C-alpha cells in the first residue's frame, strides 16, 4: 500500500478559503469557546444556503449540485479556523440512518429539511444509570392511540439547545430481552414536556441532560419497526463511530506543536525542536495522525461503495480516540510547566489551546462507544474470539 499523502482537495482549497473569508465571522470561534456550544447556527444557515450541506446527497432528497470535495474543503477550512460543527455531525449520522432504514415518507420529510439547515438532530442515547451501555435504556415509550408518550431522562444530549429534534432511544417492551423491546423516535425539542438542562464539562463544552415527561409524538416519528430499535441503533452507531459528517480530516496537533517547538527558546539558547527526543515525540504524533487519516479514508471509501463499515468504524474510533489522549498527554509533557496554562493566561503556549484540548480529550474514549466496548466488538466480530473465556 502506498501511504504517500496527496491533497485530494487541493483544487478546491482556494475557493473554500474564499468562501470562509466571506462567510465566517472572526468572533464565532471565540463564541463557541466561551459559550461551550459547539455549533454556530448562523454559519449552519450559510452552509445550507450555498448548498454545501447538500453536497453528495441524492437530488430527490434535497441534494445540491455542489462538488462534495469542495464541501469537504469548506469544512476543513472552518475546522482550521477553530470552529466545531457537532450539531451537523450528529444530524448527518441520523440522516444517513434514515437513508438506510427510514420509510420513503420519512426520507422525503426529514432529509430535505436537514440539507436546508432547518432540521438539526441531537443524540438521545445515554442515560444517568447506563452510560455507554445504551441497550440498558429505561426511558419508556407507550403507544397511546395513534401516538406515543415518552417518559424518562437522557444524559450528554450535546447541542440539543440549538437542535430541532432529538433522536431518542426508548424501551417499548419491558418484558423483552435487553437488546429487544427498544425503539427510536425523532422527538422535536419544542415538544410539551421536554426540558433541556445544561451540563458544563471539564473540556469546556456544554452538554445537556434532557427530561421527557409525557412527551407525545406521532407514530410517524418512529424510525424502524416497533421493538426493533437495536437494529436501527447498530446502523446509527456505525455512522457515529466511523463516518459522521464531512468534517475535517486535517489533524493539526503535530503541525501546531512543531511550530511552537521551533520558536520556543531554552535557557541554553537552543529551541525546543533542537532536542532530538522532542522532535521524535512530535514525529510519532504525526505518524498516528496519518494512521487515523488512513482509517477514516478506508471507512469513507466503504461507504462510497455502498457498504456499511461496522468493524472498520469501530477500529477507527478506537484508534483515534486512544491516540488523541496519548497525544495531548505527551504534548503537556513536552511543554513542561507552561503546559498547564489555560487559554487567557499570560505566556500560555499557543494561547492555551494545548491545555484546553488536553481537558477536552478526556471524553473521547467514552462518547460514541467506550473503548472497552469497542475492543469487545472487534475481538468478537473481527478476530472471532470467544465471548466467554474459561477460568
Count CB-CB contacts under 10 A for residue 75. Answer: 25
The phi and psi torsions of 86 (rounded to 5 degrees) equal -65, -40
C-alpha cell of residue 347: 505566556
Looking at residue 225, the DSSP 8-state letter turns out to be S
263, 242, 252, 215: which is closest to 310 by C-alpha?
A: 242
C-alpha cell of residue 172: 417499548
- Beta-carbon contacts of 49 under 8 Å, excluding residues fewer than 6 positions away, are 117
Annotation says 240 is catalytic: yes
Supply the DSSP string of 272-308, one letter for each residue: GGGSHHHHHHHHHHHHHHHHHHHHHHHHHHHHHTT--
Query: 231 to each of 135, 183, 188, 314, how far by Cα in Å?
Result: 11, 9, 22, 16
Q: 77, 127, 240, 289: which is the annotated catalytic residue?
A: 240
Residues 275 and 283: their CA atoms lie apart, in Å, by 12
- Answer positive or negative: Cα dihedral of 119, 224, 149, 174: negative
> Which residues are the active-site residues?
240
Amino acid at each position: 500500500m502506498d501511504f504517500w499523502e496527496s491533497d485530494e482537495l487541493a483544487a478546491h482549497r482556494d475557493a473554500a478559503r474564499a468562501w470562509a473569508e466571506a462567510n465566517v465571522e472572526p468572533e464565532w470561534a471565540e463564541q463557541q469557546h466561551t459559550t461551550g456550544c459547539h455549533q454556530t447556527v448562523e454559519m449552519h444557515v450559510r452552509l445550507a444556503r450555498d448548498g454545501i450541506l447538500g453536497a453528495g446527497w441524492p437530488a430527490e432528497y434535497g441534494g445540491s449540485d455542489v462538488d462534495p470535495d469542495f464541501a469537504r474543503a469548506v469544512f476543513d477550512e472552518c475546522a482550521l479556523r477553530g470552529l466545531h460543527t457537532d450539531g451537523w455531525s450528529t444530524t448527518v449520522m441520523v440522516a444517513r440512518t434514515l437513508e438506510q432504514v427510514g420509510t420513503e415518507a420519512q426520507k422525503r420529510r426529514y432529509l430535505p429539511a436537514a440539507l436546508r439547515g432547518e432540521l438539526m438532530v441531537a443524540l438521545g442515547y445515554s442515560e444517568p444509570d447506563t452510560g455507554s451501555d445504551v441497550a440498558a435504556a429505561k426511558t419508556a415509550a407507550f403507544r397511546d392511540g395513534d401516538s406515543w408518550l415518552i417518559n424518562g431522562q437522557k444524559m450528554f444530549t450535546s447541542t440539543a439547545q440549538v437542535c430541532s429534534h432529538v433522536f431518542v432511544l426508548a424501551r417499548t417492551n419491558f418484558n423483552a430481552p435487553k437488546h429487544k423491546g427498544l425503539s427510536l423516535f425523532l422527538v422535536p425539542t419544542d415538544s410539551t414536556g421536554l426540558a433541556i438542562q445544561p451540563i458544563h464539562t471539564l473540556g469546556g463544552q456544554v452538554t445537556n441532560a434532557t427530561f421527557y415527561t409525557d412527551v407525545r409524538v406521532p407514530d410517524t416519528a418512529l424510525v424502524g419497526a416497533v421493538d426493533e430499535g437495536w437494529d436501527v441503533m447498530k446502523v446509527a452507531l456505525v455512522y457515529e463511530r466511523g463516518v459522521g459528517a464531512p468534517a475535517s480530516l486535517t489533524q493539526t496537533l503535530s503541525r501546531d506543536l512543531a511550530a511552537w517547538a521551533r520558536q520556543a527558546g531554552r535557557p541554553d539558547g537552543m529551541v525546543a525542536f533542537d532536542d532530538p527526543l522532542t522532535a521524535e515525540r512530535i514525529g510519532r504524533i504525526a505518524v498516528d495522525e496519518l494512521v487515523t487519516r488512513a482509517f477514516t479514508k478506508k471507512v469513507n471509501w466503504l461507504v462510497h461503495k455502498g457498504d456499511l463499515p461496522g468493524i472498520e468504524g469501530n477500529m477507527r474510533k478506537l484508534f483515534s480516540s486512544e491516540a488523541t489522549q496519548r497525544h495531548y498527554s505527551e504534548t503537556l509533557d513536552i511543554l513542561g510547566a507552561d503546559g498547564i496554562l489555560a487559554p487567557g493566561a499570560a505566556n500560555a503556549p499557543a494561547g492555551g489551546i494545548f491545555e484546553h484540548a488536553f481537558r477536552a480529550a478526556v471524553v473521547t474514549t467514552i462518547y460514541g462507544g467506550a473503548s472497552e466496548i469497542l475492543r469487545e466488538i472487534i475481538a468478537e466480530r473481527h478476530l472471532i474470539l470467544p465471548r466467554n473465556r474459561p477460568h
